[in-house]
Amino acid sequence: MRDLAKPILVVGSLNMDLVIRVANLPLKGETIFGKTFTTFPGGKGGNQAVAAAKLGAKVTMVGAVGRDDFGDKLLCSLSEGNVDTSYINRIENSTGTALITVDENGANSIVVVPGANNACFPSDIDKALDMVEGPGILLVQNEIPEETVGYAIKRAKEQGWITILNPAPARNIDNELLSMIDIIIPNETEAAVLTESEAGSEEQAAQELLARGVAAVIVTLGNKGALYCTAKETCYIPTYKVKAVDTTAAGDAYVGALATALSQGKTVLEGAKFAAAVAALSVTRPGAQPALPWRKEVDEFISKQEEK
């Protein structure tokens, strides 16, 4: 029987996460002692690709890593997560890195050094779109060059792909490009930056993005759930109550899960509810890609929550 699931093409960053666990996040100018230091494969693009693939989606990744140990480990992590790495370039620049500080409640602060991620070019998009059987779902973020993000969205839209943008970190997006985005998924801070609105006014920000041309908006709100808005409906999607250990990849788990649900024929609202479960499960574990759950784990988690 022919597999009717849509392919997912992730264009984005690949970083090695250098994680320091602390009692409390340091204040400006403050020096503190860390408890532990670990390294985990990460990067928003890589995380979202692995999240989707571990949930059963057919995922291809476009990006770049260096010819170094970090690059080797990132490619290995993607392959172990069932991601097609055929379109990941290896260059002489260093692999992207992220310095992540995580406190006892799972909250974090992150500094990213792009490195090889700056070598993700529009020509790489052409190669992948010409070879991956579509149309499917394009998933992009803002940790690669702005030109490449815009080009990927335009090319995919021309070919009938569903386009999803996770605008992290936030930067200005013109209305022409916004009109080509089917779903934009910012967090509260990113939504405020994109619309120059006050933090905490997510409904206002969502309506502004819709007015500027986006078809659907999902504002993720951490442990408060998510806000889903289209021209026809607005609703809040609750999250699951869990003990957070590390929130580093929660947003990426959410985005990858939503893309997976859409690839399998679910509605956006159904996908957002599924994504809430995946994100909740991911924060109960340390690290980025190692924390991302397999589909069987998510199904069992949802089943147990429904029994309560």
Handedness of CA 297, 3, 8, 160 (dihedral sign): negative
> Is 252 a catalytic site residue?
yes
The answer on pLDDT for 3 being more than 60 is: no
Per-residue model confidence as pLDDT tens digits over 135-166: 999 999 999 999 999 999 999 999 999 999 99
Confidence class of residue 1 from pLDDT cuts 50, 70 and 90? Answer: very low
Query: Using a CB cutoff of 8 Å and minimum separation of 24, what contacts does 110-115 make?
Result: 110/248, 112/13, 112/15, 112/143, 114/13, 114/143, 114/144, 115/15, 115/66
Per-residue model confidence as pLDDT tens digits over 191-240: 999 998 776 688 999 999 999 999 999 999 988 899 999 999 999 999 88
pLDDT of res. 2: 43
Helices 268-282 & 295-307 angle (0-180, nearest 10): 100
Give the Cα separation of 268 and 226 in Å (integer).
12
Give the Cα separation of 98 and 143 in Å (integer).
11
CB atoms under 10 Å from CB of 272, counted, come to 25
- Kindly give the pairing relationship between strand 234-237 and strand 226-229: antiparallel
pTM over 0.85: yes
Full set of structural domains in the chain with CATH: 8-25+34-293 (3.40.1190.20)
Nearest to 92 by CA among 69, 67, 127: 67
Per-residue model confidence as pLDDT tens digits over 23-69: 999 988 999 999 999 998 999 999 999 999 999 999 999 999 999 99
Q: Looking at 84, 182, 252, 299, which residue is catalytic? A: 252
